[in-house]
């Protein structure tokens, strides 16, 4: 097994990481408000200004600079191998420790990930499992595209609660099978079986580097 971590894409900017955490927190606060507030009007005005300014700075072509478009005019492609939630507030944040074919960690789903009252939306649990399984695969150096995922919802997963997860995987030829669990103390909340292709890093398309500042 090649134990070098798998990376495909460019690291996020520190500003992006800081902004993602703040956007996630502000979203949770907005969803908990009882009434319209002047502070939200101020926030919307600043966001509109930021959207206009940032719109002039990013490439007009939204396609990522990957493969045939690596040297084109598209946008930078950020590495999705691990910790996507650290720079994209649409993804949950988690902590993970990898020990060979096993991994374990913790996660706390915030208000933006709510489905039923006080409960994590099941779709976000699927997203979470896909993230941590691929993080595990990429960390140990044999990874590839997810081909199938099956979830079993055992109990509702509570919001704003430290939850634990564990992942075990097996590699058989060109296939990777991962089994993952999410727990609240000793209570099993959700299980996932995730299959992925064991990809060949040499076959990955070229990724265009971040462009130099003007």
pLDDT at position 200: 86
pTM for this entry: 0.92
Beta bridge partners of 13: none
* DSSP H or E segment with residue 19: helix 14-31
pLDDT at 67: 93
Q: What is the CATH number of domain 14-203?
A: 3.10.129.10
Alpha carbons 173 and 197: distance in angstroms, whole number: 9
pLDDT for residue 75:
96
Residue 195 pLDDT: 96
Compute the distance between CA of residue 176 and CA of residue 142 in angstroms, rounded to an integer.
9
pLDDT at 202: 83
Q: Are 28 and 109 in contact (CB under 8 A)?
A: no
What residue spans define the domains of the chain?
14-203
Please list the pLDDT of the chain residue by residue as tens digits (214 residues): 445 777 889 999 999 999 999 999 999 999 999 999 999 999 999 999 999 999 999 999 999 999 999 999 999 999 999 999 999 999 999 999 999 999 999 999 999 999 999 999 999 999 999 999 999 999 998 888 999 999 999 999 999 999 999 999 999 989 999 999 999 999 999 999 999 999 888 888 999 999 888 7
In angstroms, the CA 190 to CA 44 distance is 37
Kindly tell me the burial class for residue 157, based on how many C-beta atoms sit within 10 Å of its own C-beta (0-12, 13-18, 19 or more): buried
Gyration radius of the chain over CA positions? 19
CA neighbor of 65 nearest in space, from 210, 174, 213, 175: 210
């Amino acid at each position: 097994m090649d134990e070098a971590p798998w990376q495909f894409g460019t690291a996020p900017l520190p500003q992006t990481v800081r902004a993602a955490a703040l956007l996630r927190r502000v979203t949770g606060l907005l969803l908990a408000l009882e009434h319209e507030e002047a502070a939200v009007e101020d926030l919307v005005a600043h966001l509109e200004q930021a959207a206009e300014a940032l719109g002039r700075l990013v490439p007009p072509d939204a396609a990522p600079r990957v493969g045939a478009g690596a040297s084109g005019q598209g946008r930078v492609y950020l590495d999705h191998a691990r910790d996507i939630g650290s720079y994209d507030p649409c993804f949950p944040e988690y902590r993970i420790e990898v020990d060979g074919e096993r991994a374990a960690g913790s996660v706390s789903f915030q208000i933006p990930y709510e489905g039923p009252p006080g409960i994590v939306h099941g779709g976000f649990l699927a997203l979470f499992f896909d993230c941590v399984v691929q993080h595990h695969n990429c960390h140990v150096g044999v990874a590839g595209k997810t081909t199938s995922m099956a979830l079993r919802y055992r109990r509702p997963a509570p919001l704003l609660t430290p939850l634990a997860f564990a992942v075990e995987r097996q590699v058989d030829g060109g296939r990777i099978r991962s089994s993952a669990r999410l727990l609240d103390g000793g209570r099993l909340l959700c299980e996932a079986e995730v299959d992925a292709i064991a990809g060949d890093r040499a076959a990955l398309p070229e990724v265009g580097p971040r462009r130099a500042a003007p």
